[in-house]
Structure 1
Amino acid sequence: MKTLDSQWRTSSRSGHNGACVEARYADHTAQVRDSKDQAGPVLSFTPAQWIGFVQEIKTGKLEA
């Protein structure tokens, strides 16, 4: 895992329309929040959980 970076980031593929999620690495966790509700809840994942989630997205396992 890369070094800790507490800056929130959006995907370069999000289209910058405000309807996306933001993610960051902080406090040894991967954190995700709704870009439209930045003061709202934040989901936290262990590095292993986050890596597994991203891998499932890449392989198409989570497509509806």
Structure 2
Amino acid sequence: MHTDRDSLLSQRSALILLLGVLVGIGAGTVAALGGADAATAVLIGASACGAGITFFNATIA
């Protein structure tokens, strides 16, 4: 039985992923409120999430 309590992600990785997901949710919500259909809003949110993760990975030391 494995009893170590090591975390799966570092704090930096968790922060980068959290910020990326928040950016994606925000962009998808703004797109949906702007009149985009559901599929387009999801695609906009997903691409914004990917771009946010890339940006925050490069920005956060």
State the TM-score, normalizing by the size of structure 1. 0.31
Say which structure is richer in helix: 2
Say which structure is richer in strand: 1
Bigger Rg, which one = 2
State the TM-score, normalizing by the size of structure 2. 0.32
Which has the higher relative contact order, 1 or 2, with Cα contacts under 8 A spaced 6 or more apart?
A: 2
